[in-house]
């Protein structure tokens, strides 16, 4: 393991959207768990980000933050090795967001691909708010306040890291402190994202209602798998199928052993196995991954105070770093909180 001085700093986060699903696990969480040994990791429960689309009803924000943390702990994030914190408990993020908002041209935000996409796709909510347009600026402050070296993200988020780099460059250009740039430019680490379909064959997503949750008990997993879409060309048991065109086949590719994968491939293509049997094997693989997570989760479910304490301790640790950065930021902008007579007054004294 690299020494603490050699370890590069990583920052990533998830919005407080409640219980996580297999898509969150495969697309981010599993990767974070592996990063903990090699890197100094900061993982943020982004409750303010949840407000950018769900601002009208905040009654479940705290509960949703806790559910996200429970799933993180269940999946293997370790508060001894990583700093797990909640965004709203580190208010320096908001201060930096405000200062960045002064220097970020509107055009940069309007061209972020997810801005238009989400406005078109998320219906029933008024997203013509400043908070929604400005959320990539908040994300930039989340990253830069820790001077992160790396930001692990999926392909769809890489534009946000690029914007973060542009904001860092612009800030450094305006407020270079004694020839030294305040912010490093973080690098994107693209998380390998295997295709993970939901039960209806579309991308697994809460908004499609097609998820398998990390907390789903075995009977629920088996029931969801039973109704899962298959290769549409395989209508009868005697029809050969193609696992490359089947969402259940995609699940096998991610979660099943090479032996099971070989059985599925040969059995499906020759019609030697039925879809019910094949789905049973997929359910076995999922249950064997979810069971140990659900066991780990129990301890915190039974005593949520334990989990909340982890968030509070992590937030206090994160805040120390954030405060130090804000000290440098204010200094660079000539807005230090310490009183210093302006130069004109000093000359007169």
Residue 185: how many CB atoms within 10 A of its CB?
Answer: 16
> For tokens 């009208």, what's the residue?
56
Task: Catalogue the E-assigned strands of the chain.
Answer: 9-15, 40-46, 82-86, 150-153, 187-190
248 binds ligand SF4 (CB under 6 A): yes
- Nearer to ligand SF4 by Cβ, of 248 and 293: the residue is 248
Determine if 286 is a binding residue for ligand SF4 (CB under 6 A): no
Q: Which of 93, 165, 279, 297 binds ligand SF4 (CB under 6 A)?
A: 279
278 binds ligand SF4 (CB under 6 A): yes
Q: Write the DSSP string, 108-153.
A: HHHT-HHHHHHHHH--SS---SHHHHTHHHHHHHHHHTTT-SEEEE
Binding residue for ligand SF4 (CB under 6 A) from 144, 264, 286, 329? Answer: 264
Look at residues 223, 241, 150, 154 and name the one whose alpha carbon lies nearest to residue 195: 154
Q: Beta-strand (E) ranges in 22-79? A: 40-46
How many CB atoms lie under 10 A from the CB of residue 140? 27
**How far apart are the C-alpha atoms of 58 and 82, rounded to whole Å?**
28
Nearest approach, Cβ of residue 231 and ligand SF4 (Å): 4
Stretch in the footprint of ligand SF4 (CB under 6 A) among 29-37, 38-46, 133-141, 228-236: 228-236
Question: CB-wise, 84 or 251, nearer to ligand SF4?
Answer: 251
Q: Which is nearer to ligand SF4, 92 or 231 (CB)?
A: 231
Q: Which of 246, 307, 311, 332 is close enough to bind ligand SF4 by CB under 6 A?
A: 246
**How far is the C-alpha of 98 from the C-alpha of 287, rounded, in Å?**
45
How many residues interact with ligand SF4 (rule CB under 6 A)? Answer: 14
Q: Residue 68: which of 41, 39, 127, 28 has the closest Cα?
A: 28
Under rule CB under 6 A, residue 90 binds ligand SF4 = no
Please report whether residue 224 would count as binding ligand SF4 according to CB under 6 A: no
Instruction: Using the minimum distance from each CB to ligand SF4, give the nearer residue, 109 or 229.
Output: 229
* Residues in touch with ligand SF4 (CB under 6 A): 230-231, 234, 241, 243, 246, 248-249, 264, 268, 273, 275, 278-279
């Amino acid at each position: 393991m690299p020494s603490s001085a050699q370890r590069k700093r990583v920052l990533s986060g998830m919005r407080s959207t409640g219980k996580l699903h297999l898509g969150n696990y495969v697309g981010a969480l599993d990767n974070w768990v592996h990063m903990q040994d090699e890197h100094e990791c900061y993982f943020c429960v982004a409750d303010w980000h949840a407000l950018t689309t769900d601002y009208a009803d905040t009654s479940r924000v705290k509960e949703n933050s806790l559910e996200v943390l429970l799933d993180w702990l269940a999946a293997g994030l370790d508060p001894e090795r990583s700093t797990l914190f909640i965004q709203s408990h580190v208010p320096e993020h908001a201060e930096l967001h405000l200062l960045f908002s002064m220097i970020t041209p509107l055009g940069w935000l309007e061209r972020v691909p997810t801005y238009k996409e989400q406005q078109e796709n998320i219906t029933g909510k008024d997203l013509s708010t400043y908070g929604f347009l400005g959320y990539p600026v908040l994300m930039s402050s989340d990253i830069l306040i820790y001077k992160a070296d790396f930001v692990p993200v999926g392909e769809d988020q890489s534009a946000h890291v690029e914007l973060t780099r542009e904001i860092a460059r612009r800030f450094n250009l305006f407020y270079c402190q004694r020839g030294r740039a305040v912010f490093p430019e973080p690098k994107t680490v693209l998380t390998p994202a295997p295709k993970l379909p939901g039960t209806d064959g579309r991308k697994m997503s809460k908004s499609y209602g097609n998820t398998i949750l990390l907390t789903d008990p075995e009977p629920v997993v088996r029931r969801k798998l039973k109704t899962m879409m298959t290769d549409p060309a395989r209508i009868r048991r005697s029809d050969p199928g193609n696992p490359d065109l089947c969402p259940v086949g995609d699940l096998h590719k991610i979660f099943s052993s090479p032996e099971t994968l070989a059985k599925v491939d040969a059995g499906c293509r020759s019609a030697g196995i039925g879809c019910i049997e094949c789905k049973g094997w997929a359910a076995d693989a999922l249950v064997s991954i979810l069971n140990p997570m659900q066991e780990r989760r129990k301890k915190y479910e039974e005593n949520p105070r334990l989990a909340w304490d982890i968030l509070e301790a992590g937030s206090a640790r994160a805040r120390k770093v954030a405060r130090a950065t804000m000290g440098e930021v204010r200094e660079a902008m000539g807005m230090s909180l310490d009183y210093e007579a302006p130069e004109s007054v000093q000359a007169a004294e």
